[in-house]
Amino acid sequence: MVIDEIRSFLNDYFDVLQDQNLTKFDNVFDSGSVLYSAQNGAVVVRPFNDYRVMVQGRESPESKDSPRLDEILMIDILSSEMALVKVRLRLFDSIMADYLNLMKVDGQWRIYAKHFHRVGDAI
């Protein structure tokens, strides 16, 4: 069932953000994916390669024993190959909200675009 596949995929996404395993990272994000955010009135656009280098160069939340908070807030299935999801998670000391545009290509779900926003501080 599509919803179960997406939930399983999102567990991989949450794991990747915590352990920063780059092999898993490459299976979660499509190499053409782009991340978008608006921070302090400026649009931030981060292509896959830039994001991958950033993740590779920092310590993982898991290595810092950072607590986890992983929540699936919405799954909107557009077709058996496309979905939009909204999640909330803890990343280091921040609470983040993400909209993820997913597509299933060659039998595998991947993120093709991510809009993210820092909601606030983790308590």
C-alpha dist (Å) from residue 21 to 3, 56, 61, 81, 93? 25, 9, 12, 25, 20
pTM of full prediction above 0.85: yes
Find the CATH number of the domain harbouring 71: 3.10.450.50
pLDDT at 21 over 90: yes
Cross-strand pairs, 104: 109
Contact residues for 107 (Cβ-Cβ < 8 A; gap 6+): none
The number of domains in the chain is: 1
Where in the sequence is the domain holding 34, given as residue range(s)? 2-121
Residue 85 to residue 60: CA distance in whole angstroms: 24
Residue 81: φ, ψ to 5°: -120, 0
Residue 32 to residue 102: CA distance in whole angstroms: 12
Mean pLDDT, all residues of the chain? 95
- Helix%, strand%, coil% for the chain, nearest 5: 30, 50, 20
| Tens of pLDDT, residues 39-95 | 888 999 999 999 999 999 899 999 999 999 999 999 999 999 999 999 999 999 999
6 neighbors 77 (Cβ within 8 angstroms): yes
